Structure 1
């Protein structure tokens, strides 16, 4: 059993045996150490350190109950002096002030996975470009060769790139998903250009989009 699978199974066991006593938040007086786990309030997601595949390096990651890693630290974030970090049931890891103002969130720095509630594309107000990037390999969650991003030139489209080469694209705007289960819409206005995903009313069905180092699902 490789290290990543062992980590995910360990998190699942924790999700099963720890419910009411689990914590989904930390503040600046607490430290997440290797072996510590944050569990979202509804026991849907867990955050902790792991070593993917055969790698000996440790990364901070989020996994869901189906043994799937949905986010990992291949990007950097901002630090705050007075803040609380919380793992939400959506899978979003947020750093918030006591007032509730979000200082940083993992949904603004997607890696290889789209969860319901995420957005891809340009946030013109915040100056964000949210896009997916594959892992380098099954053992390394660093930024790989493939990326899935919005190109706003002309009629906006979403392209799959291998390096700088376009290898696949969606239809031009107004883009509509081929399957209703995707529960997405394309936004093109003065504030943002991109794809917005919604959390389905029936949370028993959750469609996901994943970019891996060999192919896209």
Structure 2
């Protein structure tokens, strides 16, 4: 029996499901202990020519994926641009082995000093490793109607670091005027750039508008749900 046939048989065995609307009263039951820390937060990935997702015939190829597209790592949805609200910013320092020593990540640290200390503690030679700054923005994804559809991590290392700093600078300018980080709607697009290593795609961020009151309220609620201390801890 083929795998597809097995699935079909199972579907027949579990036929006769009531309409989803009739089950609303039980939504959340059994999930009381599930918090945002227990959910997989997707990452947004800007695809380049070298990525497996765009290589025909590769096991990791994603149908329709092309270099210059933004991909949701969990749903594999593809975008040429998208609307987001920037909820928070963090910065880590990632230690990588150099290619000539086998490559691969050693660890992630809060500062460059911590990264260097970790190498020393493990007896690893600094010359065989690279320490790279990795700015990360947590963004609220918006659908075509401008409604929230989930959150995602947006890493901006390497050539994207400058874009991250410009974005933070513009957010800081908004905050000076009394508008919080999560009070703005941005369009996250893609531009083609080049350096001595060749051509590549980079992010392009444009301020679209101040979030309307309803959307702003939803962004605040999502931010509080992710970062606000539990009442017991705050007491």
TM range (shorter): under 0.3
Higher relative contact order (Cα pairs below 8 Å, separated by 6+ residues): 2
Structure number with bigger Rg: 2
Greater share of helix: 2
TM-score, normalised via structure 1 length? 0.25
Q: Which one has the bigger strand percentage?
A: 1
